Structure 1
Amino acid sequence: MNQPTGGAGALIRQSDTRPALLGVACGVGAALFWALGFVATRHGLKVGFAPPDLLMHRFLWSGLAFLPIVVRAGLGDLCGIGWGRGLALMVLGGPVMSLISYAGFLFVPLGHGSIIQPSCATLGGLFFAAVLLRERISPSRLAGAIVIVGGLAVIGAESIGHIGLTGVQGDLIFVLTGLMFAGFGTLLRSWRVSAFPAAAVINVLSLSLLPIYAATGGLARVAAIGVGENALQAVAQGILAGPAAMYLFAFSIQRLGVARAAVFPAIVPALTLLVGWLLLGEAPTMLQAAGLIIVLSGFYLAQRQR
């Protein structure tokens, strides 16, 4: 069979490259938005927000924006996703996972959550892709996973040696939420759920929690904190770290596959520590920096093809 040559071959290579580059761009964008969400969460807890307050900002505004779209597309089958699958995505990538994650920052510094959760999302994504989706995991990616585990061990050592039992508890919370998010990404790929319906359905289903939040006095609590702080959380949680990041990540999964897209959460730690240092003044400790360097080395190996 003749191979394409000259201009035709270049066009084919270009058409093959563009979707991959778009997937990479979306993955990096999602990582940046998640990093901003981590920093905003830490800031919000410092100024008096409780985890349910941040959860309200995370899902209320985007849920209201997506509601007309979901209603027009059909509530009966939730935009074609189905109620069973929609609820599963809501638990793994929606308010349940987010609330657990917010609580973790009550026990450990920003550096712990921002490193452990994305790293475990990467490890879980690689594992689920291999076991459940039968995607091939290259030796380099396997080596990267092992290196990432080493970086997490360094972070865990700081909790044991300097923070104590509460630190270990906080770290384990972020291990759990990282694995939950890995499961979310795997289901998106397995069920072939497109980015926009997934984001819309999760945020709309999350509106069902608003009556519970209001009944427990949440609205009065956030009103007392002030308009400026609430506006900050609405943008950071409700737009950037919420539907925008979810859409970009889901789009990257569709273009690159679960195993390749799973490495993008691993760049969140560096972005989070940098932004947190600049905006919150929380400089990373030596152990956090060492763990970050190891994790980033693992990320480099995990994104290689061989």
Structure 2
Amino acid sequence: MNQPMPGADASPQKSDAKPALLGVACGVGAALFWALGFVATRHGLKAGFTPADLLMHRFLWSGIAFLPVVLRAGLGNLCGIGWGRGLALMVLGGPVMSIISYSGFLFVPLGHGSVIQPSCATLGGVFLAAVLLRERVSFSRLAGAVVIVGGLVVIGAESIGHIGPNGVLGDLIFVLTGFMFAGFGMLLRYWRVSAFAAASVISVLSLVLLPVYAASGGFARVAAIGVGENALQALAQGILAGPAAMYLFAFSIQLLGVARAAVFPAIVPALTILVGWLLLGEPPTALQAAGLVTVLSGFYLAQRQR
């Protein structure tokens, strides 16, 4: 009887590990770009941009860049995705979700949106993966989700006690957009939409809002703010937090599944608060810091394999 060579079963493990590591790298990269986008949003609102202006930067430049690609692949079926699915993805992960999220920063500080929205995206993603996609969710991942909820309770307590009704409204906005993005990730997996197709189709479909923005005098408004500030938003929103983060996150879903990839948005709070502190001079409050530590502890549990 032939005996297996020593280490003969090691190559499948290595081959399995490589896509997993790539998926983790893509997820972390997406989280970093989202964090930069949150900080740029807060800065842009202070500089005089409106949520509609930031939305324009988020999708205009990428939409123009991806338009020839979509036209060449076929506008009739939107690169094989289909109009119905494309519009659903645009609502849950495109300009509709984005402008709602931008509006939340008009009511609450940077730390709230950067913690609540990604955390709810994580919770929603784990739930949808287990219930609708039948993906296996480990006990530690469920425990991490519960701990993340505890962190959200701490953050919400500050809104009620110190910011008032407007603060509660702002936090609820980020709860909504977090679950919207969870639905976006679930549909990507369920419909098996590729990362590049998702990024390109959403960007191009968002161009339909451009005439409305132009008619409202938006271009004149942003021109008055200055070239430097607009270039900053074009980079942060139009490249990093927009199509680049969307592509990386969608690719991580393909490699890891929804349940595992859904954990990556929970990295965003730590990166956002850290970068916001360094670049905007907005240190976290004691309750924000406590909520942040709690959320990160939940993330540590949720990323474990067992």
CA distance in 1, matches of 2:21, 2:305: 15
Q: Which residue of 1 aligns with 2:135?
A: 135
Q: 1:33 corresponds to which residue?
A: 33
Question: In 1, Cα distance between the equivalents of 2:109 and 2:4?
Answer: 55
Query: For residues 277 and 3 of structure 1, do their structure 2 counterparts lie closer, same or farther at Cα, with a shift above 3 Å needed?
Result: farther
Give the distance between the partners of 2:15 and 2:305, measured in 1 at CA. 20
* Whole-angstrom CA distance in 1 between matches of 2:284 and 2:199: 33
What aligned pairs does 1:57-72 form with structure 2 within 5 A after superposition? Answer: 57-72=57-72
Cα deviation for residue 5 of structure 1 reads 4.2
Q: Which residue of 2 aligns with 1:288?
A: 288
Alpha-carbon distance between aligned partners in 2 of 1:10 and 1:239, rounded to the nearest angstrom: 39
Q: Which amino acid aligns with 1:184?
A: F
Unaligned runs of 5+ in 2: none
Greater alpha carbon shift after TM alignment, 1-10 vs 293-302: 1-10
Please list the CA deviations of residues 236-264 of structure 1 after superposition, one character each: whole Å capped at 9, or x if unmatched. 00000000000000000000000000000
The residue that corresponds to 1:116 in the other structure is 116
Partner of 1:48: 48
Aligned to 1:153: 153
Corresponding position: 1:244 with 2:244:
yes
| Structure 1 residue 139 displacement after superposition | 1.4
Distance 2:291 2:206 in 1: 35
Deviating 4+ runs (over 4 angstroms): 1-5
Q: 1:47-103 CA deviation, whole Å, 9 max, x = no partner?
A: 000000000000000000000000000000000000000000000000000000000
- CA change 1:13–1:104 in 2 (3 A) is same
Distance of 2:148 and 2:285 partners within structure 1: 18
Tell me, which stretches of 5 or more residues in structure 1 are unaligned? none
Letter in 2 for 1:280: L
- 1:84 and 1:3 map into 2 onto residues whose CA distance is 55
Shift of 1:156: 0.3
C-alpha deviation, 1:4, in angstroms: 5.7
Q: 1:234 & 1:242 partners in 2: Cα distance?
A: 10
2:212 corresponds to 1:212: yes
Q: Matched residues in 2 for 1:7 and 1:70: separation? A: 46
How well do the aligned residues superpose, as a CA RMSD in angstroms?
A: 1.2
CA distance in 1, matches of 2:31, 2:3: 39
Which residue does the alignment assign to 1:93? Answer: 93
What corresponds to 2:264 in structure 1? 264
CA distance in 2, matches of 1:41, 1:121: 19
- Cα deviation, residue 41, structure 1: 0.1
Of 144-153 and 3-12, deviating more is: 3-12
C-alpha distance 7-37 of structure 1, shift in aligned 2 (>3 A): same
Q: 2:32, 2:47 → 1: CA distance?
A: 23
The share of aligned pairs that are identical, in percent, is: 85
- Give the match for residue 176 of structure 1: 176
| C-alpha distance after superposition, 1:143-177 (max 9, x if no partner) | 11111111000000000000000000000000000
The corresponding residue for 1:253 is 253
1:195: how far off?
A: 0.2
Q: Secondary structure at the match of 1:151?
A: helix
**Hey, what's the Cα distance between the residues in 2 that align with 1:270 and 1:125?**
19
**AA in 2 matched with 1:94:** G
CA distance in 2, matches of 1:129, 1:15: 24
Q: Secondary structure at the match of 1:6?
A: coil
* TM-score for both structures, normalised by structure 2: 0.98
**Cα distance between partner residues in 1 of 2:18 and 2:6:** 19
CA positional deviation for 1:7: 4.9
- Opposite residue 264 of structure 1, the aligned amino acid is F
Taking a change above 3 Å as real, the CA distance of residues 77 and 6 of structure 1, as seen in their structure-2 partners, is same
For residues 173-208 of structure 1, what are the alpha-carbon distances to aligned partners after superposition, in whole Å with 9 as ceiling and x for unaligned?
000000000000000000000100000000000000
C-alpha distance in 2 between matches for 1:108 and 1:59: 24
Rounded Cα–Cα distance in structure 2 between residues aligned with 1:2 and 1:300: 44
Secondary structure of 1:119 counterpart = helix
TM-score, normalised on structure 1?
A: 0.98
Report the equivalent of 1:82: 82
CA distance in 1, matches of 2:12, 2:138: 26
Q: Note the alpha carbon deviations across 1:93-149, whole angstroms, 9 max, x for none.
A: 000000000000000000000000000000000111111111122111111111111
Partner of 1:302: 302
The aligned residue for residue 277 of structure 2 is 277
